[in-house]
Amino acid sequence: METPSLFEAREVAADIFELPACMPVPGLGALSVNAYLIRGTEPVLVDTGLAALGERFVEELETLVDPDDLAWIWLSHMDADHVGNLTAVLRRAPKARVVTNFLGMGKMMLAGLPVERVHVMEPGASLQLPDREIVPLHPPYYDAPETIGFFDTTASVLFTADAFGALLEQPARGDAAAIPPARLRDGLVTWAGIDAPWLSLLEPASLERSLDDIRRLAPTVVLSSHLPAASGITEALLGYVSEMRSGGTPRMPNALTMERLLDRAHIGKEAAI
Ligand SMILES: [Fe+2]
Ligand SMILES: [Fe+2]
Which ligand sits nearest to residue 81's alpha carbon?
2
Residue 25: what pLDDT? 92
Contact 86, 38 (CB under 8 A): no
For domain 5-272, say whether CATH 3.20.20.80 is its number: no
- In the chain, which stretches have pLDDT less than 70? 1, 246-273
- The dihedral sign for the CA sequence 135, 138, 139, 144: positive
Q: From the centroid of its chain, how far is CA 65?
A: 20
Residue 245: what pLDDT? 74
CA of residue 81 to ligand 1 center, whole Å = 7
- The dihedral sign for the CA sequence 7, 148, 139, 151: negative
| Amino acid (1-letter code) at residue 82 | H
CA of residue 83 to ligand 2 center, whole Å = 10
CA of residue 146 to ligand 1 center, whole Å = 10
CA of residue 147 to ligand 1 center, whole Å = 8
Residue 272: what pLDDT? 38
CA of residue 188 to ligand 1 center, whole Å = 14
CA distance 202 to 134: 28
Residue 168: what pLDDT? 96
CA of residue 8 to ligand 2 center, whole Å = 20
CA of residue 273 to ligand 1 center, whole Å = 33
| Amino acid (1-letter code) at residue 152 | D
Which residues have a Cβ under 8 Å from the Cβ of 152 and sit 6 or more positions away? Answer: 16, 38, 132, 133, 134, 135, 158, 159
CA distance 73 to 48: 8
Residue 185's nearest CA partner among 241, 253, 258 is 241
Residue 197: what pLDDT? 87
Which ligand sits nearest to residue 144's alpha carbon?
1
CA of residue 79 to ligand 1 center, whole Å = 5
- DSSP string for residues in 91-126: HH-TT-EEEE-HHHHHHHHHTT---TTEEE--TT--
**Total residue length of the chain:** 273
CA of residue 225 to ligand 2 center, whole Å = 6
CA distance 250 to 4: 22
Cα–Cα distances (Å) from 1 to 22, 30, 69, 226, 265, in that order, read 9, 8, 34, 17, 10
Residue 200: what pLDDT? 81
